[in-house]
Amino acid sequence: MAWTVDPCRPGSGGGRVDQIEGQKRVVIEAVEPEIDGGRFPVKRVCGERVVVEADVFADGHDQLDCRLLYQREADAEWQAVPMTALGNDRWRAEFLVSEVGRYRYTIEGWVSRFRTWRTDLRKRLEAGQDLRADLLIGADLIEDGAGRAPAAEAKRLRAWAKQLREPAEGASQGAVALDDALSELALRHPDRTLSTRYERELVVVVDRERARFSTWYEVFPRSCAPEPGRHGTFRDCEAWLPYIAGMGFDVLYLPPVHPIGTAFRKGKNNTETAGPDDVGSPWAIGAAEGGHTAIHPPLGTLEDFRRLVARAREAGLEVALDIAFQCSPDHPWVREHPEWFRRRPDGTIQYAENPPKKYQDIYPLDFETSEWRALWEALRGVFLLWIEREVRIFRVDNPHTKAFAFWEWVIQDLKSRYPDVLFLAEAFTRPKVMYRLAKLGFSQSYTYFTWRNTKAELTDYFTELTTTKVKQFFRPNLWPNTPDILPEFLQVGGRPAFAIRLVLAGTLGASYGIYGPAFELGENVPRAPGSEEYLNSEKYELKHRELDDPASLRPLITTLNRARREHPALQRDHTLRFHSTDNPLLLCYSKTADEGDTVIVVVNLDPFHRQAGAVELDLESLGLSPDQAFEADDLLTGSRFLWQGPRNFVELEPSTLPAHLLRVRRRVRTERDFDYFA
């Protein structure tokens, strides 16, 4: 009999009418991973596993079984994996995601009559009780299961049921009833008529590997000319590809490549009056030549852009394009769609502001316009056009100043068409806003790493990112600097500060990036004391640099990126573990990989002084025993150290190299009692 909940009754589901099937007894709750009650998907990349846990229980003392169900959204059939009991009614199973796209998963549980019978029968047998009635009950259960089994297995089950009903002379009834192989066969064909399925189907978005592991280099093509004073082109940028790829980067990130407005154009150092030779900010998008779908003429042609993308791919680099949904006063949309902009009482359009900063050369789009549908379609069209031009990674400027609903709609739509497309959120904003954008679909996000400098700050922040529910949907991309941000640490710490932040970014995070060549050349002069703006910022003028400067961090960057490529432990975030040190200026942490790869990183956080102290390793997390010696090979210098036990001494001089990046090689003893390290 089915009962209907009164929708007006308190606790009945807020007006939702549910059918309560009174014979179903299993409860499924506390499912992990599950983001906001299933409102948002979790994230993985191809080849990763989704480990699912849940509390599954029922009234009484009956035994339960449950299984994890999963499928690609395009598939009609569910795949099933038995769940393993962990104790205290907690169950676990996992599945592999092998294709880019979306997967669904849920859980099903049921009272196992056969498992309950077998458990109780064993107890009765041990107590010496009469088993005749119980054997007949078991025979009926087995016969019932045979009706759900294929022919060959059904035949074996029916023969077993017959043995229980008509035991052979001298046969041990208990041994026959508790036969492990036959019991396993019976458990393959349970009666799930009264099974409970979890009320939600949860979603996993699966991206290609670059969503998890990537190494970014930002460059302004207009500053790539070989001689000073000339506006660079895409062809000039091609000449930089061996330099960038040679350092081990795999993503070439370009600021906006669209026409730059002339009205209210900013001059050098963000002055409000531009001179005749001032090139303006690439983020002031739109001019007579076009808007977000056009190419800035001094950079070259569309064909030149396509050629750069192709040449970059040949060099092992993927081009990422900046998408900034804002317009200069000269943008065609200002004339063609005035309804997409917010006007002030005097009829002028409201320019962008972040008080006290003013951006008179930029008009923000109004996402509260009554014509929002047309605006959304136009913005989606921008993405589609660049996707057709072979761009598959987009760094999105200030997404937190655009409507959340738009991002959820456009990202899901684009990924349904092009599952390999990736989005990086440049969202230096409040934590909950950053996390919401990640939930809505952004593949990666900028972080607060740029301003986290102390041991406590770094430990607390990265513990949050890698050990809480955040890790299921938020992928950090760590940047020590950007064209907008020259942190104080880099301003005052000199070359050692750049080396410190480089190693931290490249080892704390599986994805990191630098704004170059400002970073490797150590540019650190602020526009004014207390400012994070660069003096003579490249955002407003052409730059010419000598890439062969002997003080460049290029060799260290190349070595670090090689280690990242060669060591799977550095290609993931969730195995990050911090280890104690007795010096607050020494930070120690490790990463591991299933392939047996383990690295330990120790960084001197002080750019001015040598720091020394003991690190206290959590050996269990590293798979080491206290009496096991291991070799620690420094991947940055080639030095080797023999360590043993949890406590080991470290000394780091920032003016030479402020960090150890240690590959753990375990001592292995052979049959001939000969030691070697592996």
Domain span including residue 103: 2-110+195-206
Catalytic site residue from 134, 207, 250, 426 = 426
> How deeply is 285 buried, as exposed, middle or buried, from its count of CB atoms within 10 A (0-12, 13-18, 19+)?
buried
> How deeply is 253 buried, as exposed, middle or buried, from its count of CB atoms within 10 A (0-12, 13-18, 19+)?
buried
When pLDDT is cut at 50, 70 and 90, the band that residue 563 belongs to is very high
- For the stretch 199-250, pLDDT in tens is 999 999 999 999 999 999 999 999 999 999 999 999 999 999 999 999 999 9
Q: Same structural domain for residues 549 and 418? A: yes
* pTM of the predicted model over 0.95: no
How far the first Cα of the chain sits from its last, in Å, is 65
pLDDT for residue 4? 38
**Residue 429 half-sphere exposure, CB side, CA atoms within 13 Å?**
18
- For the stretch 282-322, pLDDT in tens is 999 999 999 999 999 999 999 999 999 999 999 999 999 99
Mean pLDDT, residues 502-525: 98
pLDDT for residue 21? 74
Query: What is the percent of the chain where pLDDT is above 70?
Result: 95
617: CATH: 2.60.40.1180
Q: Same structural domain for residues 118 and 227? A: no
Query: What is the percent of the chain where pLDDT is above 90?
Result: 88
- Among 364-378, 383-397, 509-523, 663-677, which is the least confidently predicted range? 663-677
Closest CA to 473 of 162, 212, 170: 212
pLDDT for residue 8? 38
Q: Same structural domain for residues 311 and 241? A: yes
Q: What is the spatial distance between Cα 477 and Cα 471, in angstroms, rounded to a whole number?
A: 13
Q: Same structural domain for residues 155 and 254? A: no
Domain boundary (206, 233, 258) is at: 206
Reading the block at residue 148, the tokens are: 């759900």
**Length of the chain, in residues:** 678
pLDDT at 611 over 90: yes
166: CATH: 1.20.58.80
Q: Give yes or no: 99 in active site.
A: no
Instruction: Name the helix (H) or strand (E) containing 142.
Output: helix 132-146
Q: Same structural domain for residues 554 and 584? A: no
pLDDT for residue 668? 53
Q: What is the spatial distance between Cα 503 and Cα 512, in angstroms, rounded to a whole number?
A: 10
**C-alpha dist (Å) from residue 176 to 122, 169, 246, 487:** 12, 12, 69, 75
pLDDT for residue 10? 37
Mean pLDDT, residues 527-539: 97
pLDDT for residue 211? 98
32: CATH: 2.60.40.10
SS3 label, residue 129: coil
pLDDT for residue 174? 76
Reading the block at residue 570, the tokens are: 């550095």
Q: Same structural domain for residues 125 and 77? A: no
- For the stretch 380-420, pLDDT in tens is 999 999 999 999 999 999 999 999 999 999 999 999 999 99
Other CB atoms within a 10 A radius of the CB of residue 314 amount to: 9
Residue ranges with strand state E in 13-100:
19-21, 26-32, 42-45, 49-58, 64-72, 79-82, 84-87, 90-96
User: Which one-letter amino acid corresponds to residue 24?
Assistant: K
More confident residue, 355 or 494: 494
Q: Same structural domain for residues 234 and 292? A: yes
With vertex at residue 607, the alpha carbon angle to CA 606 and CA 608, rounded to the nearest 5 degrees, is: 95
- Among 182-186, 502-506, 615-619, 668-672, which is the least confidently predicted range? 668-672
| Whether the Cβ atoms of residue 585 and residue 605 lie closer than 8 Å to each other | yes
Mean pLDDT, residues 506-533: 97
> What phi and psi, each to the nearest 5 degrees, are found at residue 563?
-60, -40
pLDDT at 1 over 60: no
Q: Give yes or no: 201 in active site.
A: no
Domain boundary (157, 179, 206) is at: 206
Q: Same structural domain for residues 329 and 374? A: yes
- Among 11-20, 146-155, 318-327, 491-500, which is the least confidently predicted range? 11-20
Q: Indicate the pairing of strand 251-254 with strand 318-323.
A: parallel
pLDDT for residue 11? 40
pLDDT at 674 over 50: no
| Whether the Cβ atoms of residue 106 and residue 202 lie closer than 8 Å to each other | yes
| Whether the Cβ atoms of residue 53 and residue 86 lie closer than 8 Å to each other | yes
Q: Same structural domain for residues 103 and 118? A: no
pLDDT at 678 over 70: no
Catalytic site residue from 34, 53, 330, 397 = 397
pLDDT for residue 172? 72
- For the stretch 50-60, pLDDT in tens is 999 999 999 99
Q: Same structural domain for residues 158 and 200? A: no
Q: Same structural domain for residues 62 and 118? A: no
Q: Same structural domain for residues 270 and 150? A: no
What mean pLDDT value characterizes the chain?
Answer: 93
Domain boundary (537, 570, 603) is at: 570
- SS3 per-residue string spanning 420-466: CCEEEEECCCCHHHHHHHHHHCCCEECCHHHHCCCHHHHHHHHHHHH
Domain count of the fold of the chain? 4
405: CATH: 3.20.20.80
Q: Which residues contact 389 (CB under 8 A, 6 or more apart)?
A: 302, 305, 306, 309
pLDDT at 676 over 70: no
Q: Indicate the pairing of strand 629-634 with strand 444-445.
A: unpaired
